[in-house]
Structure 1
Amino acid sequence: MEPTARQRIDKWLFFARIIKSRTLAGKFAAAGNVRVNSEKIDQASVQIKPGDVLTLTQERRILVLRVLGCGNRRGPAPEAQLLYEDITPKPVAAGEAKPVAARREPGSGRPTKRDRRKIDQFRHPDDDA
């Protein structure tokens, strides 16, 4: 299609093989699971064009895709992958995901009752209890 081509979000999700059927793609978009250029959409009829950035939330997974083109049909997977570029950030490693407060020296064991009270006092200084 030409560079100024636009396509409905439900058709594009179906052609790009992100969602299994066009009906499900329409329901997915209407449920508010899609953002186009950081704007939440709630209609399947929203038009997208090449260059738009889509943010999709599927269960516990977030996909960030840049639209490279509009599709004419639901073709094979290699053809569908030409419609988008996956720009999803890489997940954080399990060891780096812990907050700093949760880290303890190896071999120090569990916090004692006194340690827990100090931690609670530090986290919630306004509590009198």
Structure 2
Amino acid sequence: MTASNELTAVRADVWLWAARFFKTRALAKHAIDGGKVDVNDAGCKPAKTLHGGDRLRITRGEERLEVEVLALSERRGPAPAAQALYRETEASLAAREAAREQRRLVGTVGPLRRPDKQERRELRRLKDSL
């Protein structure tokens, strides 16, 4: 893994891939193009250069992260090395934990299985009566 003292700037899509926020560089580029990544509270393009100390806001599905760039790398390494590239803010950690707890309390939404023949008939009768 390339040390941060050798690099002064790295493309945003490469850094997001190296820090393991996205599985491929193409997915990182697609997320940036879709407006799912902001750098220092401004929009971002895949070729935007990141420097140490930059703050990123990343949205993946329902998960929202706010991280600070600690080190730079152009190479994807093991997970512990990737986690050393950034630090998640306390507010972001608290918000993610609250969202996780909310999802746990709400539980799953919708049926866990398809209705069987009897349940389909009951649903059809209910819909016809409305």
Preserved CA contact (<8 Å) 1:3 1:50: no
Task: Give distance in 1, aligned partners of 2:73 and 2:87.
Answer: 14
Deviations 1:12-33 (A, max 9, x none): 0000000000111111111111
**In percent, how many aligned pairs have the same letter?**
33
Letter in 1 for 2:94: K
Q: Which runs of 5 or more structure 2 residues have no equivalent in the other structure?
A: 103-130
Partner of 1:74: 76
Give secondary structure in 1 for the equivalent of 2:84: helix
Partner of 2:30: 27
What is the deviation of 1:4? 6.9
**Greater helix proportion:** 2
Task: Give distance in 1, aligned partners of 2:86 and 2:77.
Answer: 14
CA RMSD of aligned residues (A): 1.7
Deviations 1:75-122 (A, max 9, x none): 00001001000111403475xxxxxxxxxxxxxxxxxxxxxxxxxxxx
Q: Is residue 38 from structure 1 mapped to residue 15 from structure 2 by the alignment?
A: no
Q: Which runs of 5 or more structure 1 residues have no equivalent in the other structure?
A: 95-129
Deviation >3 Å, runs of 4+: none
TM-score (norm 2): 0.66
Task: Give distance in 1, aligned partners of 2:42 and 2:6.
Answer: 22
Partner of 2:58: 56
Tell me which structure has the larger Cα radius of gyration. Answer: 1
What is the deviation of 1:2? 2.4
Count of equivalent residues: 93
